[in-house]
Structure formats: structure tokens, C-alpha cells
Structure 1
Amino acid sequence: MKEKKTDKIYFSPLDQIAPFEFDENVVNVFDDMINRSVPFYGEIVRRQAQLAAHFYMNNTVIFDLGCSHGNFGIALASEMGQRDFRIKAIDNSEPMVIKYRDRLSKSGLSEKISVECSDIRDSDLKNASAVVMNLTLQFLPVADRSDFIKRIHEALIPGGIFLITEKIHHKDEFLDDLEQVFYYRFKKENGYSELEISQKREALENVLVPDTLEQHMARFEAAGFKNIAIWHKWFNFCSFICVK
């Protein structure tokens, strides 16, 4: 069994901190990074897979937008068992896509899951019974977000679902600061040092731009979603389900 690589990207002082990107260095430690940085990440992906399987309709597509190296797709395949299904997974990180395709070739899922390296904003979205976006919208330019959510709504069949998890910030400054304090405490409890937290925060500045919960809800409603719920929230992380 291959040993899981530990995230040491920001472990030592850096003379210059480049903007964060999903390059080969990040891909190599991605599972360690995301499990130590996103509270309940495994639980979120597991329940999303169950929800997508529940709402999946024959002869439709499940889109995984910003798929990284395929944790959702692999989880969904396990949940679906012998049922036929089709996932179209899209990510603009070539190292992520290469790793995902390698995982698929080893698991025999290449016929059910197709992986495309491109900007999700250029993707052809249609005939979807489920669309999943995990920690992806926050990396799109703010000006593009509303129109893209509308495209997702249009791509879904009636009764289809949109599952999205995002890092958020609170509109109240006091509560926003409190959530940040407990988030950094979470990261320290998972072994990250003050230096690692600080350097990662600087790398993400102006790259990851979170919205408030209220901004997300307003955007979903404006896109046409009528049934919207928060099914998981932990301080400054939130998972939504939107039903068309």
C-alpha cells in the first residue's frame, strides 16, 4: 500500500509566496491537505455521493465541476454499485486530471467517468440529474458566479439537484473573526504550524474569494432554484442542496 504523502508545502519559510494553484506539488499531497484543511471533508463527499445516487435518473449525466483527482466520482461509483451511470468530471488543473485518469484506469471506471481538462465556464452543461461543485465556485471571479449558477440550473432536468460546498465568511465582523479563530484552531489540531497557516493564507489571498451564506442563497434563488437547504455547516464551511 502506497504511503500517503504529507503536506509540507508551507512548512519552511518562503522568500516569496506565489499565488496558490493546483500544481503537481499540491496534487501530490492533496488528500492530506484537504482532509487536514476542510472539516468533515470525507463525510461531505460520502453524503453527496449518496444524494447524487438517490436523485440520479437513467440516461442523464452527473457533472462534477472542479473535480480535482476524483474523490467524489470514486465515492459515487462505490455507492452506485452495479447501476449504470455517467459522470462528466471537469477540472482546469492538468496534474489533477492526469491523476484522476490514472485512478480510473486502475479501478476500471473509465467507461463510466470521463475526465476533461478545461475551464468549467467553457463546459457544455445539459441533461444533468445532479451537478456537484466542491470548493470550486470560490475560485471563480465573483463577476462570473451568478451567470454560472444560472447555467447549472438550466442544465438540470426537473427534479435534479445541485450540491455545492464552499468556504464562506460571515457578514458580521465579530462572528467572522470568531469563525476564523476556530478554523485556524482546527488546522493547528491537525498539525499545521502558525507559519504554515500564515503562508497558505497569503498564497490564497485574492485567489480564493469566499461569499457570505446570504450571498449564496440569494444567488441560488435568482438562478431559479426553489427548494434550497443547508445540509451541513461547520463554522466557515457550508454545504447546500438546491433542487430544481
Structure 2
Amino acid sequence: MSIEDFSFREHALTFDRHIGDSIPGYASLVKRVLRDSRRFIQPRTNVYDIGCSSGRTLAKISRLNRSSRERVTYIGIDCEPSFEMLWRRHRAPNLKCGVGDVRTCKLENASLVISQFTVQFIPPADKRALLRRIHDSLIEGGALMIAEKTLAGTARLQDVVTFSYYDHKLERGFTAEQIIEKERQLRGQMTCMSEAELREALKEAGFNEIERIWGEAPFAAFLALK
């Protein structure tokens, strides 16, 4: 029996509900991103959301900072065309979303880059180059806010974290069959790093100040400053 690769295409119309059910504490992560955005967004710069999905988080950031940060352009990039219909809901003069590959899209003059559960879907050979491109696109004092699904430090801890996460998904209405099928579909597509490996990759990219700002195992978010 063949197994199709996982795609967000089937979840596009209900993506925000899907990610809220899938990731414990996701709402608190978005609140943290919104709150900290005001500290880093500078006038006459770009703000990027790579892997922007529905565009909802980027639109919220735009509305929050519009009156106090002049001439900022908010740019969302995602590889899934099915999200285009959702981007129309967030139309604004200073906000634009487009279909593209974050590994090759232009990134420049950025004061803030947001990456929520995106690098985990980038092939291992390309992850560090992408993080370097993000670092180099930032102005001095700019920030990357990155959230990823992470691996535990030991096999025994990984077992605990994995089954705790499965319990969470069962509580949120996913069936055992849906959980297993998604795991099968994600094989080879999602390649996660441990928190230590992610920190190391960020340092190699040029980020010297890195702080964990959110976490609900097996997920964690970091603030990395240029």
C-alpha cells in the first residue's frame, strides 16, 4: 500500500483550528510573538513570516504595529498554494503573501523574521543555509523568532514526550488512526533537531544571543538576535 506525503492542502481552510488542536499551548506562543514584535520592528524595514500558512499571525502583527511603525512591509511566504484563498481575508496596503520557496525567496532589510514550525520541513542539507540567509537579511538588532518541533535529549525521554503528545491529540479529538497515519505521511518530510542542535545551528548562522521563550514538549520557541 502506497503512502502519500503529508500536505497542509487538506487542512488549508481550517488550518488555524487544526494547528491550535495539534500544538499544545499554541495560542500562548502567538501571544508571545505579538507582544515581542513591538520591541523589534523598526520603521522602513521588512517583517517576514516564512511558512506563513493562513497569514493570520502576520496580519495580527501588522495591525498591532501599523500605527507606531511607519513604512513597514509585512511579507508572508508559503509553499502551499491552497492558502492563497485565506490571504485575501487579510488584505492591507502594507501586507502581502505569496507562494514561494523560503530557501530561494529574497529576504532583505528585515527587522523581524518569524518562523513557526517551518525549518522542520526543510531538508537537513538546507536548514543551516536557510538560517544563515535569515541572519544575513536582518538589520543590526533584528530578531528571528523560531518555533520548532524538537527531539528529546535521550531515547527514554523521547518515548515519554511522544506518548504524552499522542495523549494530547487524542484529548483534542484526533483518532488513533489519524495520529498514526500522519506519522507515516511525515516520514522523510519532517526532520527535527534537538534543542541543543537547533541552538548550535543558530550560532553557526551568526546568532550570538539565543533565548528559549516558549515551550510545550515536544515543541519549543527561541528568540535569536543579530
Give the counterpart letter for 1:26 in structure 2.
Answer: H
**2-structure distance, mates of 1:16, 1:29:** 26
Residue number among 45, 52, 57 corresponding to 1:60 in the alignment: 45
Tell me by how many angstroms 1:92 deviates. Answer: 1.0
Who is 2:13 aligned against?
Answer: 28
Of residues 197-206 and 153-162 in structure 1, the stretch that sits farther from structure 2 once superposed is: 197-206
- Deviation string for 1:48-73 (max 9, x for gaps)? 12212221111011011010011211
Tell me by how many angstroms 1:217 deviates. Answer: 0.3
The alignment status of 1:103 with 2:89, answered yes or no, reads yes
Q: How does 1:51-200 map to 2 (within 5 A)?
A: 51-83=36-68, 84=70, 85-100=72-87, 102-105=88-91, 109=92, 111-200=93-182
Structure 1: which 5+ residue stretches go unaligned?
1-14
Residue number among 193, 208, 219 corresponding to 2:190 in the alignment: 208
**What is the aligned length?**
224
- Deviation string for 1:103-137 (max 9, x for gaps)? 123xxx2x111112111111111111000100000
Secondary structure at the aligned position of 1:120 is classed as coil
TM-score, with structure 2 as normaliser = 0.95
**1-structure distance, mates of 2:13, 2:85:** 12
2:103·2:130 contact (CA, 8 Å) conserved in 1? yes
Who is 2:221 aligned against?
Answer: 239
Structure 2: which 5+ residue stretches go unaligned?
none
TM-score, with structure 1 as normaliser = 0.88
Give the counterpart letter for 1:88 in structure 2.
Answer: I
Secondary structure at the aligned position of 1:168 is classed as strand
Give the counterpart letter for 2:221 in structure 1.
Answer: S
**1-structure distance, mates of 2:196, 2:15:** 30
RMSD: 1.3
**2-structure distance, mates of 1:166, 1:156:** 20
Give the counterpart letter for 1:31 in structure 2.
Answer: D
Q: What percent identity do the matched residue pairs reach?
A: 27
**1-structure distance, mates of 2:112, 2:83:** 22
Secondary structure at the aligned position of 2:224 is classed as strand
Give the counterpart letter for 2:117 in structure 1.
Answer: L
1:19·1:203 contact (CA, 8 Å) conserved in 2? yes
1:45·1:75 contact (CA, 8 Å) conserved in 2? no
Q: 1:98 to 1:122 in 2, by over 3 A?
A: farther
Tell me by how many angstroms 1:82 deviates. Answer: 2.1
**2-structure distance, mates of 1:35, 1:168:** 18
Secondary structure at the aligned position of 1:191 is classed as coil
The alignment status of 1:46 with 2:28, answered yes or no, reads no
**2-structure distance, mates of 1:30, 1:221:** 32
Give the counterpart letter for 1:177 in structure 2.
Answer: D
Structure 1's consecutive aligned runs of 4 or more residues displaced over 3 angstroms after TM superposition are none
**1-structure distance, mates of 2:4, 2:95:** 33
Secondary structure at the aligned position of 1:121 is classed as coil
**2-structure distance, mates of 1:142, 1:92:** 17
